[in-house]
């Protein structure tokens, strides 16, 4: 296909006319498709229906150590669950605390406690004049939503295929005591699907923050969410690396089974140093007597061990891999060579990151919505929903059926081409006016 940037004004006008006709055909279909969130589809949820049979009224609800899961207690979570989640997170069970169903809730609580009571004896953040946070971009909108809610100043940090700009991270963290944390999705990142390389992880572990209560919020949400068996991303384990670097307390590592079993009924966990765990427990004892141990036991009985979980994730991959490949194929067929867009091709996770021409993202999302396809709002991948280039869109392929997804992806490419062609065409007019003014000035 010929690049839109190399088309004449007449060629662009013809392309726009054809695309508008194609767009109207999609509008006539009266579609109602949702690609706005990275939700598992029904077939994925069906994979975990065995959870409902793992325990029943005749089941022994006692743990290996004799604990009755129906009763109060066991703040850290039952040992069997810590072993299972520890294997999933690649951490020692002694460094893990099991929570309820949502890792996002754990992150929220961690920041809330830091505001009210401080971190390991440091001044509570509510008593400080300013709190700042580093936000790799594009990034996870719900992360940014937490820091926005608490009134924290968010500083965007550019992402690359290797992870955040570590020169920038190191400089800012070392020079500003008001910077208290950084959001990280280190494996199959949201939305690009990038995984931090070895150098990036090692540089994180060796940060020298000015603030003693600075913490890396390491949200390894997609640690075992591979799309392929034969090419998977590898990530250095951060807690072990921090310990080697002499910074054992630097990281809070979060994970959950939210996209492994049932998102609304999974189990979440934090892995961190002994010192951090002691600090967390002191505060958590005033919040709860213990989380849902029956659900923890249910997960252990369902999976058996990490090998059962890995096999379970292969079934997830078999369902969603064709969806990612379909989107990538449609994008290649309809956009490649036009010089108006780029997109990622991840080996795992839940998203594809799409970059169009500057100033087109909101228009593309709006066009798609008017034709019946709901996308993540433009700007969501930046703090305060302010994408300075207005060009990034998060694509979530997992929830629609494969056929609906193909329709949505094709419509999306029509919207991209139409908005891009119109924008380039408009610039032709602007350039012509500039040239006319130049001629007028020369004549004068």
Q: What is the pLDDT along the chain (444 residues), one digit of tens a residue?
A: 899 999 999 999 999 999 999 999 999 999 999 999 999 999 999 999 999 999 999 999 999 999 999 999 999 999 999 999 999 999 999 999 999 999 999 999 999 999 999 999 999 999 999 999 999 999 999 999 999 999 999 999 999 999 999 999 999 999 999 999 999 999 999 999 999 999 999 999 999 999 999 999 999 999 999 999 999 999 999 999 999 999 999 999 999 999 999 999 999 999 999 999 999 999 999 999 999 999 999 999 999 999 999 999 999 999 999 999 999 999 999 999 999 999 999 999 999 999 999 999 999 999 999 999 999 999 999 999 999 999 999 999 999 999 999 999 999 999 999 999 999 999 886 655 545 554 554 555
Query: What kind of architecture, by CATH, is found in domain 61-304?
Result: 3-Layer(aba) Sandwich (3.40)
- Any idea of the CA torsion for 38, 299, 312, 409, to the nearest 10 degrees? -10
User: What's residue 434's pLDDT?
Assistant: 41
- Helical (H) or strand (E) element with 368: helix 361-370
Burial pattern 353-391, b for ≥16 Cβ within 10 A else e, equals bbbbbeebbbbbbebbeebbbbbbbbbbbbbeeebeebb
CATH number belonging to the domain at 4-44+311-442, selected among 1.20.120.1460, 3.40.50.10490, 1.10.3720.10, 3.90.1150.10: 3.90.1150.10
Place of tokens 């929220």: 108
3-state secondary structure of 268: strand
Q: How far are the Cα atoms of 21, 49, 65, 329, 405 from residue 409, in angstroms, in the given order?
A: 17, 30, 52, 10, 6
Determine how β-strand 132-137 pairs with β-strand 179-184.
Answer: parallel
- What is the token pair recorded at 371? 């034709």
Global pTM? 0.95
Boundaries of every domain in the chain: 4-44+311-442, 61-304
User: What's residue 1's pLDDT?
Assistant: 83
Cβ pair 192, 346 in contact under 8 A? yes
Burial pattern 290-323, b for ≥16 Cβ within 10 A else e, equals bbbbebbbbbbbbbeebeebeebbeebbebbeeb
Closest Cα partner for 45 from 302, 350, 258, 300? 258
Closest Cα partner for 272 from 69, 65, 106, 143? 106
Q: How many CB atoms lie within 10 A of CB 439?
A: 10
Cα distance between residue 219 and residue 255, in whole Å: 6
> 4-44+311-442 and 61-304: same fold?
no
- What is the token pair recorded at 97? 């605390």
User: What's residue 441's pLDDT?
Assistant: 45
User: What's residue 234's pLDDT?
Assistant: 96
User: What's residue 431's pLDDT?
Assistant: 59
Q: How many CB atoms lie within 10 A of CB 270?
A: 25
Cβ pair 347, 406 in contact under 8 A? no
Q: Indicate the burial class of 234 (C-beta count within 10 angstroms; 0-12, 13-18, 19 or more).
A: exposed
Determine how β-strand 153-160 pairs with β-strand 96-98.
Answer: unpaired
3-state secondary structure of 362: helix
Cα distance between residue 295 and residue 303, in whole Å: 12
Cβ pair 157, 166 in contact under 8 A? no
- How many whole angstroms from its chain centre is CA 123? 31
**How long, in residues, is the chain?**
444
Cα distance between residue 36 and residue 383, in whole Å: 18
Closest Cα partner for 398 from 317, 287, 323, 300? 323
Q: Which residues contact 304 (CB under 8 A, 6 or more apart)?
A: none
Determine how β-strand 96-98 pairs with β-strand 268-271.
Answer: antiparallel
Q: Indicate the burial class of 222 (C-beta count within 10 angstroms; 0-12, 13-18, 19 or more).
A: buried
3-state secondary structure of 98: strand
């Amino acid at each position: 296909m010929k690049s839109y940037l190399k088309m004449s004004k007449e060629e662009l006008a013809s392309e726009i006319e054809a695309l508008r006709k194609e767009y109207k055909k999609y509008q006539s279909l009266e579609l109602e498709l949702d690609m706005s969130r990275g939700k598992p589809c029904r077939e994925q949820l069906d994979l975990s229906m065995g959870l409902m049979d793992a325990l029943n009224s005749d089941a022994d609800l006692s743990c290996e150590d004799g604990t009755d899961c129906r009763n109060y207690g066991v703040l850290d979570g039952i040992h069997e669950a810590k072993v299972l989640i520890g294997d999933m997170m690649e951490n020692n069970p002694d460094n893990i605390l099991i929570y309820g169903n949502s890792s996002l809730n754990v992150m929220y609580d961690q920041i809330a406690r830091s505001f009210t009571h401080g971190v390991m004896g440091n001044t509570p953040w509510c008593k400080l004049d300013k709190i700042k946070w580093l936000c790799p971009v594009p990034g996870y909108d719900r992360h940014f939503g937490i820091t926005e809610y608490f009134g924290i100043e968010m500083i965007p940090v550019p992402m690359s295929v290797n992870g955040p700009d570590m020169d920038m991270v190191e400089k800012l963290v070392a020079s500003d005591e008001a910077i208290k944390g950084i959001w990280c999705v280190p494996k199959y990142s949201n939305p690009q699907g990038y995984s931090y390389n070895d150098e990036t992880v090692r540089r994180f572990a060796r940060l020298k923050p000015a603030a003693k209560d600075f913490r890396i919020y390491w949200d390894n949400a997609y640690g075992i969410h591979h799309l392929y068996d034969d090419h998977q991303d590898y990530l250095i384990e951060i807690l072990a690396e921090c310990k080697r670097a002499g910074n054992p307390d630097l990281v809070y590592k979060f994970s959950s089974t939210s996209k492994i079993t049932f998102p609304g009924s999974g189990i979440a966990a934090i892995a961190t140093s002994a010192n951090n765990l002691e600090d967390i427990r002191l505060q958590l004892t005033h919040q709860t007597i213990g989380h849902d141990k029956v659900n923890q036991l249910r997960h252990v009985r369902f999976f058996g061990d990490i090998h059962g979980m890995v096999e379970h994730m292969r079934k997830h991959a078999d369902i969603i891999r064709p969806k990612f490949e379909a989107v990538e194929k449609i994008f290649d067929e309809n956009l490649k060579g036009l010089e108006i867009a780029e997109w990622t091709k991840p080996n795992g996770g839940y998203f594809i990151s799409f970059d169009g021409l500057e100033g087109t993202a909101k228009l593309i999302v709006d066009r798609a919505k008017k034709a019946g396809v709901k996308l993540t709002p433009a700007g969501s991948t930046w703090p305060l929903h302010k994408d300075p280039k207005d060009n990034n869109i998060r694509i979530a392929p997992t929830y629609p059926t494969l056929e609906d997804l193909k329709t949505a992806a094709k419509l999306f490419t029509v919207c991209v081409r139409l908005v891009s062609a119109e924008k380039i065409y408009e610039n032709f007019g602007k350039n012509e006016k500039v040239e006319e003014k130049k001629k007028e000035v020369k004549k004068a």
